[in-house]
Structure 1
Amino acid sequence: MTRATGTHEPRLTVERMVPALAGVMVTISVILVLTVSPWWTVLTLFVAANLLLYSAVGWCPASLLMSKAGLPRATYPR
């Protein structure tokens, strides 16, 4: 609940789910590297590139898909 308005902030937002999805994907990638093939490192590099893009410009392909799926963006007080 925010102090100023007394409204509840949504728990799942795009800004919280992007790093969570990245963590899951990196974990899956490490498991695949150890059990299947070292080529799965490419997945980790792809996730890293998307995180860098997200931090630089505020969006990445996953955040666009999450927004289209109806996940709200976080609202920050000014």
Structure 2
Amino acid sequence: MTIDRAVLMFAGAMVLVSLALGYFVSPWWYLLTAFAGLNMMQASLTGFCPAALIFKRLGCKAGVAFK
């Protein structure tokens, strides 16, 4: 799995988990959804993604977006 795909899968999982927690536990969990969205926007503008750094250290091979 490339870093690109791992980051997309992680971001999607965070959004779905936070939506479920917001619905079933507390609406405050929707802040995690907002954080994930803001982080994706920031990464698209700057090219810096903390999740990509973590997946790189875990041994994922580089993709097109995160080299």
1:74 is displaced (CA, Å) by 1.5
Q: Which structure has the highest helix share of the two?
A: 2
2 CA distance for matches of 1:26 and 1:67?
22
User: Which of 47, 50, 67 in structure 2 is aligned with 1:61?
Assistant: 50
TM-score normalised over the length of structure 1: 0.75
1:75–1:25: structure 2 CA closer, same or farther, 3 Å change rule?
A: closer
User: What count of residue pairs does the alignment treat as equivalent?
Assistant: 65
1:70 is displaced (CA, Å) by 1.2
1:54 is displaced (CA, Å) by 1.7
Is residue 40 of structure 2 the alignment partner of residue 46 of structure 1?
no
2 CA distance for matches of 1:42 and 1:60?
19
Bigger radius of gyration among the two: 1
Which ranges of 4 or more aligned residues in structure 1 deviate by more than 2 Å? Answer: none
Structure 2 runs not aligned, ≥5 long: none
Structure 1 runs not aligned, ≥5 long: 1-11
CA RMSD of aligned residues (A): 1.6
**Which is bigger in relative contact order (C-alpha 8 A, separation at least 6)?**
2
1 CA distance for matches of 2:44 and 2:64?
17
2 CA distance for matches of 1:16 and 1:57?
18
Cα deviation 1:3-39 (Å, max 9, x = unaligned): xxxxxxxxx1111111111111100001001100000
